[in-house]
Every structure is written in C-alpha cells, then in structure tokens.
Structure 1
Amino acid sequence: MKTIMTMRAALEHPEIFGTVLAGESWSAWRVLLIAAMGEELTEPEREIFRQLTGREYEPKTRCEEFWAIVGRRGGKTRAIAVLAAYIAALCDWSDVLAPGERATLPIVSASLWQAGKAHQYLSGIFSTVPALKKLKIGETSDTISLSTRVDIECRPASFRTIRGGTAVAIIADEAAFWRSDDTRNPDSEILNGARPMLATTGGMLAVISSPYARTGEVFSTFKRDYGAAGDPKILVAKAASRVMNPSLPASVVERAYIRDPAAASAEYGAEFRTDIETFIAVEAVEAAVIPGRFESARIGGFEYRAFVDAAGGSGSDSMTLAIAHREGNVGVLDLLIERAPPFSPAAVVVEFVEILMRYGLGAVTGDRWGGEFVREQFKDRGIAYEISEKAKSDIYRELLPLLNSRRIELLDHQKLVTQLCALERKTARGGRDSIDHAPGGHDDLINAAAGALVLAAGQPDFIESYIRAYHDRPDAALAEYRNQQINGA
C-alpha cells in the first residue's frame, strides 16, 4: 500500500477534508487520525495524544488496530467516516490486489440502520468534496464504489456474513453493543472472522464505540492495550464526549448525570459501567445442558408446569412456550417452542394449546402482557391463563441458585443458552438488583424456560434456606450447599 497524500495534508487541504473536520472542536480527532496512520505529531498535538491514549509518543508507523472508546455525541461516526474515505480514496492498494480484483471496506454495525449513518457521512464526502467526487463510480443504499478499486459497504454485525473477500480496512461501529442470539460472544466471533480479510493487505481494523459493561472485546482490549504497556501496533484511545466534541452543550451532560449517574458516566463520561455484571457464569449454564436432548415427551406420574411469554406478532419479540417437570429435587426442561414474528397471536395460541393438552395441562402461567386479550385466547380453548406472581427479575433470581447447585436440566438449545448467558445484573440507585437482557438483546426463550423451571422445581426447605443465604453470601452459601450434598443431605 502506498499513500497518495498524508493524512495531515488531507485534513488541512481545503478541497479534501479541510472543511469536514475543521475547527478547534475537531482537534482531538485530527490528532488521533494522524497518529493512527503512523505520521508524526507536533509537540502540542503530542500532549493531546498523551491525554487520550496514556502513551508518551505516537506510534510513527501505521497501526494494525485503532480503538476509539468515546462517549455519545463525541463525533465518532464523522471522524471514522473521514478515516474510511482516506483509506479508500487516498491510498493506493494496487500492489496487493490481483488484476481485476476489487477490495472492500466494510462498515460493520449492530444494524444496517446504524451502518447507514456512517454511509450518510461518506456519501456526503464523495458527493461534495471536490477532489474526491470524481472517484465515485457508483452508489447504492449500502455501497459506495470507487475508481480506486475499493467498495465501501455497510454490513450487519454477523459472524456468518463477515467472512470472505479482501478488505483494505474494517470499521467496527459500537462494538460494545453487538448482540446475537446465535453466539454468546458476537463481538469476538465477528472480529476474529474479520481479521483474516486484512491479512494480505495489511489494512487497519478500526473500532469505535461507547463503553458499556466490563466484558467483551472493547473492555478487554482497553484493559490490555491502553497506555504505555499496550501493544504498539494497537492504538487505544479513551475520552469523554466533551473532550472529543467541546461543542456538545454541558447542560445536556449535566442533566444526564442528574437522571442516572451510572448510565451518564458510560454514555458521556466514557467510563465502563461498574453497576452491570454478568448474571451467571457460562460454566454453570453449560453444566446444566443435557447434550443431544432437544425435547422430552410426557412421562406418566410427573406433574408438568408451563410458562408462556406472549408477544404481539408484529414487533421484534417472539412468542414462546416452555414446559418443565420435577424429578426429585431437579427441575427438568422438557419443551421449548419459539414462534418468531411475524405471526398471528391467535394462531400461535391454538398451536400452544394443542401442545399443553399433550402434556395433560389445563393451565399455563404468564405475565400481564396483552391484558385480557391473551388470557381470553387461552380461556376460550379450555386453558386457564394464570398471572405470574413473580416479576421477571425475581424468576431469574430464583433460577440462579438452582443452576449453581445443579438442580436444573436444560435442553440442548443454543439460542436459549445464549440468552441465559447474556442476562445482566444491574444494581439500581436504591441498591436493589434487576436482571434483564442487555440493550439490543432478547430474553423471550429464557423468560419462558425460567418461568416453567421455577414453577416445576419447587423449593425443598434446605434449598429455600440456601436461596436466602445465597443473596447475602454467595460463595459461602454455595460451599455449604455442596457440603450438604457430600454428606447426603
């Protein structure tokens, strides 16, 4: 790869990026882009660089990876669009491309809608910047094709679709919020699948994101590579919104801190959240899964319980049904059905009623969603719909000690396992914990499964005691429970 023009020169040139990231408010971003491309900084710029990266000196060689962990409204999307336009238009990749080969520069986001925001900036650059307009040879809703043999493409964050092709750079947008029902670690899977696309070009992986919980690739990269001890080929910057965008009104940030200090600290302060943690260890979930068991037929002599998570059929939520029973002190998940939208709620109720009757059930439990409509649909078909006495967080809270004490058997259902492992425990301002899916995630399957299991498992006296102790002293309670198991209690 050969640069046609330095990043510094492009940022200063009035007919290239001189008007795109102009002014003092963009000075921090200009410093990071210049440093990421391996160019030398001035001493005043170097001081800004130190504050943003925790490193004394810029790398002076082009980075393999550039991670910008910046608060909301901090200018991430416009700045990264400039970096993408520079790499695609002002770098010559002909020496690493086969004759006739075109390279890609994917912008990977949690959704195409989010990727479209970067596309809008890039479309504006290649439509209005005088020196770059002539390079555009085609444009669709998700692709900009350039005469430099590079196609800038918007792609959803999927580890299945990211594979294949030759990339001159990859832009990963808001990676801390990537979610998938197909894998527990979508950010790791996607980035690991993407990196080989850069192997023959030496292109850059550029990740921009607001911070979230202290898990995932964004947090682990920050922990490992931020500061002087980090990999010199991986540049990690971290800054609050108003550091990168001083034009953001201070009043907006101040009101956010008043409303919810923990959320504002992440959204605008660029601090990883300390009030959110993983609800359950992956190991405990995997230990509960019975490999190869996808469904169990009804067995005489056992009492079955069912839980439904209703949905309207036109949104993003699925309607799910779970059936479980208890064997000794073990809750066994027998069946888990999901109907993804679009669907007719009435038609799904008919299907679920047939399943409930197969298991000898005349009642199903669920929450208050849908009001009387859902309850009437079941009632008209001979099934009583009972309102759950427990809120969703309380059901999850009761499921946890049963899982940790191996009193639960789960079906071999990857999507269920993914949703369970993705649940998060959040400490509210009043000190009470709530348990829910992460932003952009789903809990339709685990909500039904947890409801059925908690109903079916029941709570022998010593487990009830254990649950109460678990909330106060988890480690000691678990040790005591295991000791009771060893002694035959």
Structure 2
Amino acid sequence: MSVTVLQAMHDPALFGAEFDKPTWTAWEAFLAALLGEGMTDEQKLICQTHTGRTDLPAQVFRRAALVCGRRAGKSRILALLGTSLATLKDYRPYLSAGEVATVGIIAADRKQARTIFRYVRGLLALVPEMEAEVTRETDEIIEMAGRRVVIEIGTASFRATRGYTYAAVLCDEIAFWRDDSSANPDEEILRALRPGLATIPGSMLLLASSPYARRGVLWKTFKRYYGQEGASTLVWKAATRDMNPEFDVQEERDAYEEDPASAAAEYGAEFRSDIASFVAPEVVEACTVQGRHELPRNSRVRYAAFVDPSGGSSDSMTLAIAHYEGDSAILDLVRERKAPFSPEATVIEFSAVLKTYGLVSVTGDRYGGEWPREQFRKHGIAYNLSDKPRSDLYRDLLPLLNSGKAELLDLPVLARQLCGLERRTGRGGRDSIDHAPGGHDDVANAVAGALLMQPRRRMPKFTPEVVQKIANQSMRGYQTWAV
C-alpha cells in the first residue's frame, strides 16, 4: 500500500476531512498498533493500556478484535479500514481470471451492516478519483471493476459467506450475531470465512462489538489473546469515553444508575458476569431422540398441549403436545408458523391438530387478552391460562432435562432455542430466564409448557351397582366403629 491508512486518515485530499478532530487520538494509536507503524510516546501508553501488552507490535496484524463500548467510533474505523483496503491496494496479482477481491461487511443482520456500508460510501464520496472508479452501486454492493474489488454486505450465515475471496472481512457487533442455521453462528461463520481470506496476502479479519455474555468468539478471542505478549491477534479493549471523549457524560451516568451491569457492558466494555447459559448443549443432545421428529397418537395415552400465540407479524406461533410415561415427559409434536401468517388460519390448523390427539383444551399465556380464548373456543378448544410465566417454565424444565427425564424430538430449531436461553441475575438477586437479544424462544416456550403439564387422571366412572356396593361397605365400616 503506497499510502498507509494513517496517512489517508490525515490527508485532506483523502479522508482527512472526516477525521480532523483530536477526538480520534486513541483510534490513531489503535491503527498504528494494528498496522505495525511507529508510535509517539502518548500512543505507546494508549496501546499498552488497551491491549494489556508491553511489547509494541512491529508488524501488521491480520486478525484483530475491538472490544469497545457503544458509540466509541468502531464502526467508522472499520469503514476507514475497509475503504482503504479496497482502494489503496492492488489485489489483481493475486486473483485468477474472473475473480474479484471482496471487502465483506457482516453484522447481525443486513440492515445493521448498512451502517458501516454508508460510512464507506461517504468516504468514497470525499475523494472524486475513488468515486469515479465505482462502476456499479446498489444498497448493498459497491463494485470497482477496474480494481476487481467489490465492497459488499454479507449475511451472517456460514452458508452465505462461503465461496468468496476476501481482502478483508469487517464483522460488526459480533457478540450479538444470531442465525437460525446454527447454535453457535459466530464460530461457524468465521470457520467458513477463513479459507476465503487465505489466498490474498495481507487480508484482514476484523471483529468489533460492545461485549455481552462470557461466551462466543469475541469472549474466547479476548480470553486467549488479550494481554498476551507476542500474540498474533490484536485485542483492543476500551470504554466508550476512552475512544470517544465527546460522548455525553450524563447519558452514561444515567445508564449506570438505571442498570449498572448493562451499562458496564454497553459503555464500560466489560463482559457481563450476570448472564450465563441456561442449559448445556450436551444436556439437550442427551435428551434428544435422534431421528424422531413426531409421534402419532396413541389412544391409550393422555396428552397435554401448550401454545405460544402470536399476532402473525413478527414472532412465530407455536404448539407443542406431550405426554408422560411414568415420571418421564415425552414430547410428541411441535408445530411452528413463522411470521407473517394469518392468526385465525393458524388457530384453525392448531385446533385440528389438537383434536387428532383427543384434546379439547390447550394452555397458553395471557398474550392478546381475550383473543386467543375466543378464537380457540370457536373451534371447540378451551384455552386455559398458564399460571406460570415463561421464565418459571424454563426454570422448572431444567431438572427434567438435567436428570434425563425428558425425551425431545430431533428438531434443530428446538435445540438452538433451548441452548440459546440465558439466565440473568437481577439486582435483587432474582434469576430470570429468556432468549438472548435478537434471539427467539417461541418453540422452546411451547415445548417447556407442554412437558411440564402432566395430564390429570380421569376420575373412574362407576355404575349404579358399584356405587351402591361402595355405600354398603362404608355403612358397615361406620357401624363397626360406632359399636
């Protein structure tokens, strides 16, 4: 690269107009460390503070993790790096005929990834020569055909990220990635990305996020490399105001007063210790009957059902049916209708399923007020209100899972949602269990409710003769006692 990123950052003819304030001092130290450039004494001190290392990097890092508070400026720095790598370096000697070098931007979803993408577009617009090289532009792609470079928003999926040749991958808010195709999406996605980074010398994988729970790629990278002399991955940990001194002090103070644990993660860049995984994947796997996807009705079995209703626009509507054999809970059926869907049509469908299992009632939460009860009642199904909130359902389900007294269906969505549940400890010491931010638990909620609803035994039916016999026996017992 004939012009370095730091030079481009300060050059008025390039990106200097965007980064001319002194508030970028700490970020300049990060870039100097990342790119193995010389540092001032001030930058050396900043580097040691935020990397936990006393050795000063002497070469370019190809892997880096930014563990920074919100509004610290990390998305703009990722955009600067992505734009510089796309425009200041020639990748053509490393590309085969028809091949292009991609600067990928990946976030929890495509909408969030557009934040960095817009910053990239803005930086290109600052330099007429660079903007003139753009041959095609959409809301998700900037193509420079002459350079054989594409800047593109990618999907947070290990399937969608395969097959590319990457000059750089910018992973934004990686601590919050969720993907229906994998229980550990961040790990699977990075595993799929690495081969695409291997063929271009100097390619970069940059992870950035405010921290969250002590799990996942960001936490593992921090634990392995932070403060390690000679580590091949640069880990930079900094609170919001360390990197962005202009951030509103009162906003930060209010956040700490409202929820100290959350604010420490959001603005202090501290991984949360009050959040833990609810159930281990090994436990869920041990309870899952491989290859069993649904059980037919057995007329000698009494069933129970639980529904998690939804309005049809965002969350799924789910139904689960289960029964007991001894003290073991057996999951028989799961139905999920993903949004968007017709709530009325889904109630008709679920009601028909319930009747095939001999059920005339279902239990659910208080969602929607009278609406679920009225709709199910129209189709001959009584809707009973659950006396437990979902957090309590999950709490009571855990002993069943840990003891192996639950048989689960082999449904990937169920395994993902159960493994994705989090136990949070509130300031009062009370635990709550729920899905992670951006996650879902509609299927898990219905299954937990069904597995915990041990059907009540029917009272035996007696003929008049049997009733008279019981009465005579009772009378004889009373006479004997009286004498």
Q: Same fold (TM over 0.5)?
A: yes
Partner of 1:50: 48
- Letter of the aligned partner of 1:239 in structure 2? A
Q: What is the aligned-residue identity percentage?
A: 50
Note the C-alpha offset of 1:282.
1.2
TM-score, normalised to structure 1's length?
Answer: 0.91
- Letter of the aligned partner of 2:309 in structure 1? A
What are the within-5 Å matches in structure 2 for residues 333-348 of structure 1?
A: 333-348=331-346
Bigger shift: 365-374 or 52-61? 52-61
| Partner SS for 2:23 | helix
| Partner SS for 1:17 | coil
Unaligned runs of 5+ in 2: 457-483
| Partner SS for 2:135 | strand
What are the within-5 Å matches in structure 2 for residues 294-313 of structure 1?
A: 294-313=293-312
| Partner SS for 2:64 | strand
| Partner SS for 1:213 | coil
- Cα deviation code 1:362-390 (max 9, x no counterpart): 10000011111111010111100000000
Note the C-alpha offset of 1:415.
0.7
What are the within-5 Å matches in structure 2 for residues 276-295 of structure 1?
A: 276-295=275-294
Question: Aligned in 2, Cα 1:35/1:148: closer, same or farther, shift over 3 Å?
Answer: farther
- Cα deviation code 1:44-83 (max 9, x no counterpart): 2111111111112332211120110100011111111001
Note the C-alpha offset of 1:131.
4.9
Say yes or no: does 1:265 pair with 2:264: yes
| Partner SS for 2:318 | strand
Decide whether the 8 Å contact of 2:304 with 2:455 is kept in 1: no
Question: Aligned in 2, Cα 1:35/1:134: closer, same or farther, shift over 3 Å?
Answer: farther
Q: How far, CA to CA, are the matches of 2:97 and 2:362 in structure 1?
A: 64
Say yes or no: does 1:103 pair with 2:101: yes
Note the C-alpha offset of 1:299.
1.1
Say yes or no: does 1:22 pair with 2:15: no
Residue from 66, 75, 78 that aligns with 1:77: 75
Partner of 2:220: 220
Q: How far, CA to CA, are the matches of 1:230 and 1:408 in structure 2?
A: 48
Question: Aligned in 2, Cα 1:297/1:230: closer, same or farther, shift over 3 Å?
Answer: farther
Decide whether the 8 Å contact of 2:332 with 2:409 is kept in 1: yes
Decide whether the 8 Å contact of 1:4 with 1:92 is kept in 2: no
Say yes or no: does 1:274 pair with 2:306: no
- Letter of the aligned partner of 1:389 in structure 2? D
Q: How far, CA to CA, are the matches of 1:330 and 1:73 in structure 2?
A: 50
Report runs of 4+ in structure 1 exceeding 3 Å deviation: none
- Letter of the aligned partner of 1:243 in structure 2? D
Note the C-alpha offset of 1:283.
1.1
| Partner SS for 1:321 | strand
- Letter of the aligned partner of 2:265 in structure 1? A
Question: Aligned in 2, Cα 1:103/1:401: closer, same or farther, shift over 3 Å?
Answer: same
- Letter of the aligned partner of 2:212 in structure 1? Y
Residue from 132, 135, 142 that aligns with 1:134: 132
- Letter of the aligned partner of 2:196 in structure 1? M
| Partner SS for 1:168 | strand
Bigger shift: 404-413 or 55-64? 55-64
Partner of 1:428: 426
Q: How far, CA to CA, are the matches of 1:161 and 1:409 in structure 2?
A: 33
Partner of 2:350: 352
Note the C-alpha offset of 1:130.
4.2
Q: How far, CA to CA, are the matches of 1:99 and 1:155 in structure 2?
A: 23
Q: How far, CA to CA, are the matches of 1:248 and 1:135 in structure 2?
A: 36
| Partner SS for 1:374 | helix
Q: How far, CA to CA, are the matches of 1:152 and 1:34 in structure 2?
A: 24
Partner of 1:415: 413
Bigger shift: 149-158 or 31-40? 31-40
Q: How far, CA to CA, are the matches of 1:180 and 1:91 in structure 2?
A: 33
Q: How far, CA to CA, are the matches of 2:62 and 2:455 in structure 1?
A: 52
Q: How far, CA to CA, are the matches of 2:53 and 2:69 in structure 1?
A: 20
Larger radius of gyration: 2
Note the C-alpha offset of 1:287.
0.5
Note the C-alpha offset of 1:162.
0.6
Q: How far, CA to CA, are the matches of 2:98 and 2:370 in structure 1?
A: 63
Partner of 1:463: none
Decide whether the 8 Å contact of 1:325 with 1:453 is kept in 2: yes
Partner of 2:166: 167
Bigger shift: 328-337 or 90-99? 90-99
Partner of 2:193: 194
Note the C-alpha offset of 1:32.
1.1
Q: Could you say what the CA RMSD is over the residues aligned between the two structures, in angstroms? A: 1.3
Note the C-alpha offset of 1:36.
1.2
TM-score, normalised to structure 2's length?
Answer: 0.92
Note the C-alpha offset of 1:230.
6.0
Note the C-alpha offset of 1:100.
4.1
Unaligned runs of 5+ in 1: 459-489
Partner of 2:254: 255
Q: How far, CA to CA, are the matches of 2:329 and 2:48 in structure 1?
A: 55
Partner of 2:474: none
Partner of 1:448: 446
Q: How far, CA to CA, are the matches of 1:142 and 1:383 in structure 2?
A: 48
Question: Across the two proteins, how many residue pairs are aligned to each other?
Answer: 454
Question: Aligned in 2, Cα 1:400/1:40: closer, same or farther, shift over 3 Å?
Answer: same
Decide whether the 8 Å contact of 2:15 with 2:126 is kept in 1: no
What are the within-5 Å matches in structure 2 for residues 135-150 of structure 1?
A: 135-146=133-144, 147-150=146-149
Partner of 1:238: 237
Partner of 1:373: 371
- Letter of the aligned partner of 2:5 in structure 1? M
